[in-house]
Amino acid sequence: MNFTAEEIIERFKRGDESRHREGSGLGLAIAKNLTELQGGRFEVYIDGDLFKVVMTFKRAES
């Protein structure tokens, strides 16, 4: 992987630069913004040749 966890969530950044047809590179940026708008936390971890996303939200009170 030739990117950092911070770089992969930037708008228009693609994880695989060889792909030119599919995707705009907005998916993770949108998911991060939506998560944060709802009071959650969005974290990306690099694990070898994979990246993992952890979204954490507060438990809803009933």
pLDDT tens for each residue of 25-51:
678 889 999 999 999 999 999 888 888
Q: What is the number of domains present in the chain?
A: 1
Predicted confidence band at 4 (pLDDT cuts at 50, 70, 90)?
confident
Residue 61 placed within a domain: no
Q: Is residue 47 part of a domain?
A: yes
- Residue 62 included in any domain: no
Give the chain's mean pLDDT: 81
Residues 6+ apart with CB under 8 A from 3: 13, 15
Ramachandran region, residue 31 (left: φ > 0; alpha: ψ -120 to 50; beta: rest): alpha
What residues make up the domain containing 23? Answer: 5-56
The predicted model scores a pTM of 0.71
